[in-house]
Chains A and B, each alone.
Chain A
Amino acid sequence: MNKTRFAWLAVFSIVIFLMGLTGCNMPRKAADAGTNATSGLNPGGADFREIVNRAKDKVFPAVVYIRCLREEMSSGKLVQQQVTGSGAVITPDGQVITNWHVIDKAVKVRCLLSDGTPMEAEILGSDQDCDLALLQLKVPEGTGPLPYARIGDSSKLTEGDFVMAMGAPYGLSRSVTIGIISCTNRYLEGNSEYSLWIQADAAINPGNSGGPLVDTDGVLIGINTRGGGNDLGFAIPTDTINKVITQIRKNGKIIRAWTGLQLQPLKDFNRDQYFDFTDGVIVAAADPRSPAESAGIQAGDRIVKINGNPVTALNEENLPAVRSLVSELAIGTPATFEIMRKGEPVTLQITPREKGKVEGDELDCPRWDFTVKTINQFDNEDLYFYRQKGVFVLSVKRPGNAIRSGLSPQDIILSIDGTEVRTLDDVKAIRERAIKNIDEKYRMLFVVMRNGLTRQVVLNFQRDWEKQ
């Protein structure tokens, strides 16, 4: 068993290394972009410096350094840690835009303005799918309007345009790096559900996350979100930002329609795939138990119109727009999908549901030495496949009672000592009783599901691994 696991682990670590794009963590020397610039904006080096300075002066005052206290489950227990990032004030009353991953699970958000004023902030709302969050600074009364960055229109950008990445990567001091737009519509597999990325080669340093990407006019045209080392930086474009903040301001959250459609483009050079059509989008599959499935949609169907609007995904870069369109369908109202199936037109009505949370809640179980999470269909597809409701072991503490007893991450807890478990509250209640009774009883029978098989584990929590 152990040997096997090690084999997989070894593979995974290589994989993670190869993937690379895992956060803003590759420092780099400042971009040396000015010298060979040929843009009309830049007849001479001195002018260019002026342009950069002008843009910088416009946006720097709006750049915010964010420091959060995050409470999260890590290695089988609840831990508190400080996370830092950047943000940009976008309204004079102190709304700050940043990344979701900066403020995720934050219990306290502190911001430092460019003039050195610290302020706390509350989270107005966030969107995990697009990695955006909107904060409201708790501006003390009597404070005048704050300097803010104007949000521009990233769709006007073209490759080669000069841009600056701003942020507060190491604290108080703001930084700016310069580069050009490398690609305006980058598709990152698994990270481009509803939005493409702006790829720029301005250096992205740790702590740049959430900071603005600014054009030469000093207008915010993106939020720096991911770095990949070696001149790779990815920012969220403004059309996505605008959609998200509008919804958050309105609803305090993002509401999306969900149909369970898995889509794929007509052409995929990487996989040498060419479906010989010029319009429509291919249905790859329908999620099990989804509206699309119950509407009878089939893998291989080609959707050509949704509610009368033509849809086309020629390449994967077109997919976020189509998915975005589907996510904006009216929830609970049948939408008309015009489909080509084996050359024949078919019309289907799909009634979207609200997508809801994309991640389950978590609970720490000290002394038992593991953490649990509720199964979420978007976050835990493979577990949801076997059980649509319930709680699973998120991680186990090492060393600890759970791992000693044979509980494994991803075990779905069906019952504890005969009591059925459906929610985190069930686990919480059983655990509290158990800890109270620990002197009399410190063994409990967990019935868990692993790969669809119903196993038993006796959790012996007699030992206190936290004891100093």
Chain B
Amino acid sequence: MIRIPIMFRIIFLAGLFAAAPGFGQTPGAGTVKTEPAKPAAGDESNQPAEKDAAQEDEPPVDMGVIAKAVKQSMLRVEYFVKYDDKGNEPRSVGAGYARNLTDYVQEERPLETSGFLLNATELVTPDINIPPRFIDKIRVAYGEITVDATISGYCIEQDAVILTLASPLKGAVPLSFNTKAEKPYFTVSYSETDTNWLVNVKEFGLQYHLKENDAAFRSGPAECLITDRNGVPVGVTMIQEYPDNDSWKGDPLKWNTLSAAELTDKLKKIEVVSDAALVRVKLTFRSAKQKFGNSSNQTELNVYGIIMDSDKLLVLANMEPKLTARLETITAHRRKGGSISATFDKTFKDYGCFLATLSEPVTTHITLSRKNVKDYLNRLLPITQMDIKGEQIETHYGYRRFYGFFFGWKRNVFPSIPGQDSNVFIFDDNGALLAFPLTKRAKPGENSSNDYFSSVSLITAVFDHPEGCFDKANIPRAEEKENRLAWLGVELQEMNNELARFNNVSDRTSNGRSGALVTYVYPGSPADKAGIKIGDILLRLKFEDHPQPVDLTLTRNDDLNFIFPWDRLDIFPDDIFDRNPTPWKSRENTLTRLLSDTGIGKKFELEVFKNGKVVSMNFTIEEGPLTYMAAARYESKELGVTVRDLTYEVRRYFQLDKNDPGVILSKVKPGGKANVAGINRYEIITEVNGKPVRNVEDFKNAIAGQSELNLAVKRMTRGRMVNIKLN
């Protein structure tokens, strides 16, 4: 008999409660004199001091007695898993069973867990929550004897299921509960350690917890049987939270349980609403304008959508403003009821989704739950799981349980669910959508978006208080506006460690990794007005309602600045220019993109290193003048050319005054009339038949109906007259 010092025991017990049971914890060894743990703080309330003293004299407990008393009720449950009919990998979505189930298929052995026999043919077992399509069979073993079993009941509040045996297990003895059995209690778990299945007995103690709202609960071990000193069962628990009373005691068969049929019925209802209102949304986009180094060139996206009102569609697509700008069509494809088109409404500022309005009202939609996710801890909740696979959608119905909560963005409460699926929609007991995957949109300049499994309350909160929750900058735009950019009005050069050192900004630019040198300031631009000069260094930006300052870090593409081979222009085929940058630097760079994505009208503070000092400047984001990419254009099929207006960055490159006439060639069709006449891309037509052309409209009018064109054509320093006869 070993006496464990009191202090040591407290630590031991605390550790026991903290750890999830059943994971190879060393079972308590030997016997100890019955001596309840020195009560933890707050545990005094129902443990009178005199009783404590009285128990000092009770005889010691023999844990072996307990273990032997219940051993015949301890069963091994074996799940044999398989790939489903479509060849999908088996996955478990139960808490704590993270191991890859495919390993069990490969190793040709079952996943094993414990079970407690409740009557001749029923047992309770932790809920591993393997979707039925992945279960080949379930077998229950008592020693060497095994019997097939099926899931007959799904416990609603406990993380457990009830299995029914095909026939009684010979030798196994059901537990017989006595809720009146007296303390002290002991926990008995059944688990595998070193390939031995062990009956583990520990002293039982509960911690007391008082919430902010004065609600109290107790916590203790999970997945165990609780007995008295003689091994008489008092209760079973599969979760760690115990009500602050005796209601946890008793036979698990009395737990709230859905029968298999009841669950199927519940899921049917979810299926009906999901079929009609959880949709695949197909988004199509205008082709991106041809441009060197264009990364965002998607023309189609298939995403999830939720029809949440007779005509409102929530589209779960985290699109950057640049992509949204090209959005053309939205079509909701329902599994039942056909497809409906929708029009864009508005983009959520903080979440990766947008609202659209359906072209015709629907009768079935998904209701957004107004319940608090925290009321559903461990509860069985029906789910729809959707997998978009191309144009097809694979849907499964089942259930999940929240196993905890955490604070996330803006101290919102986010539920934790087992499994890492990003495509699970969880419903509350009324069939209203309670939680779903939602992306927290990255603010401009932030590195990446975070995917959260979120309560729908985040969305309902936006509907309740919509002010400022939608992003006016992230909208579809007309083609001629899709490439409009905000501007500061500077051309920039990438920083490096040598430049940072020379300019004394190593400490402010992470040794030259961030920061940008101003190489040009456009006259009349916001930068010019604020007094930014060539040689100043832009360090970082602080946007309103954006707590993280954004270091200005240019990319390689931002600083393409090469000498264009004007003297060899005539030799290049036109399509070569599609694969190479323009002679002038593109105005779309990290800075203009950042400002454009943040939105016109937003305020920001810019830190500028100027004359050896850091200066803070305040700006309001302004839309810049049209750039080459966004310039008005006109295609003359007859001439085989596309011309664009001369925009400010092109004028700078060619040193043209604001009032100098001209349109620039942005495409010259090989073999076309203009091409034969020796006209090349990036040349400028300044005059048509003796009249200056100031823009593409002028050009269009000037060539209309003419039988002969005399064009004054310029490139850098050279010019010529081009005569073209038209039919």
Contact status A299-B712, CB under 8 Å: yes
**Given A1-B559, A8-B565, A15-B571, CB of A455 within 8 Å of CB of B517:** yes
Cβ-based interface call for B462 (8 A)? no
Give chain B nearest CB distance to A363 CB in angstroms: 20
Contact status A12-B565, CB under 8 Å: yes
Cβ-based interface call for B247 (8 A)? no
Give chain B nearest CB distance to A199 CB in angstroms: 22
Write out, one digit per residue, whether chain B residues 516-535 have a CB within 8 A of any chain A CB (1) or not (0).
01011000000000000011
Which B residues touch A18, using CB under 8 A?
A: 571
Q: Measured between alpha carbons, how far is A202 from B710 in the docked complex, in Å?
A: 42
Of the stretches A35-43, A174-182, A245-253, A381-389, the one at the interface is: A381-389
Cβ-defined partner of B722 (8 Å) among A4, A273, A382:
A273
Chain B interface residue number, banded: 35 or more
CB proximity to B under 8 Å, residues A244-280: 262, 264, 268, 270-275
Q: Measured between alpha carbons, how far is A5 from B583 in the docked complex, in Å?
A: 12
Interface size on A, residues (CB 8 A): 51
Cβ-defined partner of B687 (8 Å) among A284, A299, A385, A454:
A299
Which A residues touch B379, using CB under 8 A?
A: none
Give chain B nearest CB distance to A124 CB in angstroms: 31
Cβ-based interface call for B62 (8 A)? no
**Given A272-B676, A450-B563, CB of A300 within 8 Å of CB of B653:** no
Which B residues touch A275, using CB under 8 A?
A: 710, 721, 723
Contact status A8-B580, CB under 8 Å: yes
Cβ-defined partner of B493 (8 Å) among A268, A456, A460:
A456
Which A residues touch B564, using CB under 8 A?
A: 382, 451
Give chain A nearest CB distance to B573 CB in angstroms: 9
Q: Measured between alpha carbons, how far is A386 from B652 in the docked complex, in Å?
A: 10
**Given A299-B686, A458-B502, CB of A11 within 8 Å of CB of B572:** yes
Cβ-based interface call for B560 (8 A)? yes
Q: Measured between alpha carbons, how far is A373 from B722 in the docked complex, in Å?
A: 35
Contact status B583-A451, CB under 8 Å: yes
Contact status A386-B517, CB under 8 Å: no
CB proximity to B under 8 Å, residues A1-47: 1, 4-5, 7-8, 11-12, 15, 18
Q: Measured between alpha carbons, how far is A445 from B498 in the docked complex, in Å?
A: 9
Cβ-defined partner of B717 (8 Å) among A272, A384, A410, A447:
A384
Give chain B nearest CB distance to A309 CB in angstroms: 22
Give chain A nearest CB distance to B153 CB in angstroms: 64
Closest to A288 in B: B717
Cβ-based interface call for A83 (8 A)? no
Closest to A5 in B: B562
Q: Measured between alpha carbons, how far is A386 from B584 in the docked complex, in Å?
A: 14
Q: Measured between alpha carbons, how far is A4 from B564 in the docked complex, in Å?
A: 11
Closest to A2 in B: B556
Cβ-based interface call for B637 (8 A)? no
Contact status B571-A273, CB under 8 Å: no
Q: Measured between alpha carbons, how far is A299 from B692 in the docked complex, in Å?
A: 11
CB proximity to B under 8 Å, residues A36-68: none
Contact status B716-A381, CB under 8 Å: yes
Q: Measured between alpha carbons, how far is A381 from B716 in the docked complex, in Å?
A: 8
Q: Measured between alpha carbons, how far is A409 from B652 in the docked complex, in Å?
A: 21
Write out, one digit per residue, whether chain B residues 251-280 have a CB within 8 A of any chain A CB (1) or not (0).
000000000000000000000000000000
Which A residues touch B585, using CB under 8 A?
A: 451, 453
Contact status A271-B677, CB under 8 Å: yes
Contact status A284-B690, CB under 8 Å: no
Cβ-based interface call for A156 (8 A)? no
Which B residues touch A307, using CB under 8 A?
A: none
Which A residues touch B686, using CB under 8 A?
A: 299
Q: Measured between alpha carbons, how far is A231 from B517 in the docked complex, in Å?
A: 55
Give chain B nearest CB distance to A342 CB in angstroms: 5
Closest to B500 in A: A458
Contact status A382-B717, CB under 8 Å: yes
Contact status A274-B687, CB under 8 Å: no
Cβ-based interface call for A405 (8 A)? yes
Contact status B498-A443, CB under 8 Å: yes
Q: Measured between alpha carbons, how far is A4 from B579 in the docked complex, in Å?
A: 9
Contact status B677-A300, CB under 8 Å: no
CB proximity to A under 8 Å, residues B490-519: 491, 493, 496, 498-499, 501-503, 517, 519
Cβ-based interface call for B336 (8 A)? no
Q: Measured between alpha carbons, how far is A300 from B719 in the docked complex, in Å?
A: 10
Write out, one digit per residue, whether chain B residues 445-483 have a CB within 8 A of any chain A CB (1) or not (0).
000000000000000000000000000000000000000
Cβ-defined partner of A262 (8 Å) among B535, B673, B720:
B720
CB proximity to A under 8 Å, residues B549-566: 556, 559-566
Contact status B720-A451, CB under 8 Å: no
Which B residues touch A1, using CB under 8 A?
A: 556, 559-560, 562
Cβ-based interface call for A452 (8 A)? yes
Which A residues touch B501, using CB under 8 A?
A: 443, 458
Q: Measured between alpha carbons, how far is A288 from B719 in the docked complex, in Å?
A: 11
**Given A18-B571, A274-B725, A455-B519, CB of A300 within 8 Å of CB of B717:** no
**Given A11-B576, A455-B493, CB of A299 within 8 Å of CB of B721:** yes
Write out, one digit per residue, whether chain B residues 569-582 have a CB within 8 A of any chain A CB (1) or not (0).
00110001001110
List A residues at the B interface (Cβ < 8 Å).
Answer: 1, 4-5, 7-8, 11-12, 15, 18, 262, 264, 268, 270-275, 282-288, 299-300, 342, 381-382, 384-386, 405-406, 408-410, 443, 445, 447, 450-458, 460
Q: A284-B719, A451-B584 are in contact. List 5 more A-B contacts (CB 8 A).
A: A15-B571, A271-B676, A288-B717, A385-B655, A453-B561
13 contacts between A and B (CB under 8 A): A11-B576, A15-B568, A273-B677, A273-B723, A284-B721, A288-B717, A300-B687, A408-B563, A443-B498, A452-B652, A453-B519, A454-B519, A456-B535
List B residues at the A interface (Cβ < 8 Å).
Answer: 491, 493, 496, 498-499, 501-503, 517, 519-520, 534-535, 556, 559-568, 571-572, 576, 579-581, 583-585, 652-653, 655, 673, 676-678, 686-687, 690, 710, 712, 714, 716-725
Closest CB pairs A-B (n = 5): A285-B719, A284-B720, A458-B498, A453-B519, A271-B678
